[in-house]
Homo-oligomer: A and B are copies of this chain.
């Protein structure tokens, strides 16, 4: 099924609802009501509830994948690569808040090939991030620490930044970027 204008409205409304209550707590009747139509009418545009979830999540996942794939091979140092990753996370947080929240909360409700696609992308993303960190340690730009825990410390904050942003929408991406760069890379101690 093609992605028409109306279908995009349905998907983005779904993302908003999924974010608030979770995929399994939003019924097709809930979604229809939010669009002021009947549940059955949704099926003129989409083939299943699952399809909606897959569209929402895979699009964001592809955004992340594309970015890491361009940054990873660049001839800049590890810290600069990490800064670029932070910037990208903030941009997606700001521009696709709802979809990002869905990805974080409901990816495990994807099924079959969509779930597999997502996991492949996520694993590849983390592998490249780990590799950037390892390089940074080797080149003495980063402290010599447990790589997996460094990776987790970074990603856990970046992935859930939408929780903060949704309560602070007036904050400029630029300020978020500067502050998060400091917090994540330089720590908080004076």
Q: Which residues of A contact B (CB under 8 A)?
A: 20-22, 24-25, 79, 105, 108-109, 133, 140-143, 145-146, 148-150, 152-154, 156-157, 160-161, 163-164, 168, 175-176, 179-180, 182-190
Contacts and interface: CB of A to CB of B under 8 A. Distances in A.
A65 B184 CA distance: 26
A163 B151 CA distance: 12
Main secondary structure of the interface of A (DSSP, over half): helix
A186 B187 contact: yes
A94 to B, nearest CB: 14
A158 to B, nearest CB: 9
B157 A190 contact: no
A190 B143 contact: yes
Contacts of A148: 164, 168
